[in-house]
């Protein structure tokens, strides 16, 4: 038996539990006494918000959690994407974070993977190169060092 988890949901808030959507009409305290897959309303990313590579990975993991559509094909595809992102990451914090996300995903620790991705969002900035319409990813820093580039031929 795992340790229980307790939190509060605001009035009108939604909670996604094992693929089901619950909406509460008043503030409630919730305690899960066993292992459960859940997301709170403020953890949910809408499709139009998935506008960077890291946010797209977040969205896919979230979808797999909520829809319980965890097929081996989808897992393999996401693992391949994560491996490509790790291979092209030039900034250590992103590379190490993506490695952790991949490990958490393999271990089916989806909530922790999403949590790690939210931390990594602040290190990702997308700059569009108008000349060749490719994206360059840069770390938010004074040096603006590139962190990821598309692999050759992609």
Residues 31 and 90 in one domain: no
14 lies in the same domain as 62: no
- pLDDT value at residue 126: 56
On whether both 24 and 78 belong to a single domain, the answer is: no
Q: Which of 43-47, 93-97, 142-146 has the lowest mean pLDDT?
A: 142-146
CB-based contact 35:2 (threshold 8 Å): yes
Q: Is the pLDDT of residue 74 over 80?
A: yes
Q: With 80 as the cut, is the pLDDT of residue 141 above it?
A: no
Same domain as 63, residue 37: no
**pTM of the predicted protein model:** 0.73
Beta strands in 24-92 (DSSP E): 28-32, 38-40
105 and 153 co-located in one domain = yes
Domain shared by 80 and 144, yes or no: yes
Structural domain range at position 110: 46-154
What is the number of structural domains in the chain? 2
Q: Is 123 exposed, middle or buried (0-12, 13-18, 19+ CB in 10 A)?
A: middle
Q: Are residues 62 and 126 in the same domain?
A: yes
Residue 36, both tokens: 């459960």
Query: Looking at per-residue confidence, does 7 or 152 come out higher?
Result: 7
User: What mean pLDDT is predicted for residues 126-133?
Assistant: 48
Candidate from 38-47, 61-70, 74-83, 91-100 with smallest mean pLDDT:
61-70
């Amino acid at each position: 038996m795992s340790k229980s988890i307790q939190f509060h949901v605001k009035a009108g808030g939604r909670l996604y539990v094992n693929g089901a959507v619950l909406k509460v009409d008043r503030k409630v305290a919730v305690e899960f006494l066993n292992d459960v897959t859940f997301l709170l309303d403020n953890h949910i990313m809408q499709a139009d918000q998935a506008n960077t590579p890291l946010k797209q990975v977040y969205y896919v993991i979230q979808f797999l959690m909520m829809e319980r559509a965890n097929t081996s094909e989808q897992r393999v595809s996401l693992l391949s994407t994560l491996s490509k992102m790790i291979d092209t990451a030039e900034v250590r914090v992103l590379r190490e974070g993506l490695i952790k996300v991949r490990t958490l995903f393999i271990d089916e620790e989806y909530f922790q993977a999403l949590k790690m991705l939210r931390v990594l969002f602040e290190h990702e900035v997308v700059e569009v190169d108008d000349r060749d319409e490719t994206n360059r990813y840069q770390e938010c820093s004074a040096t603006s060092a590139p962190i990821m580039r598309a692999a050759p031929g992609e």
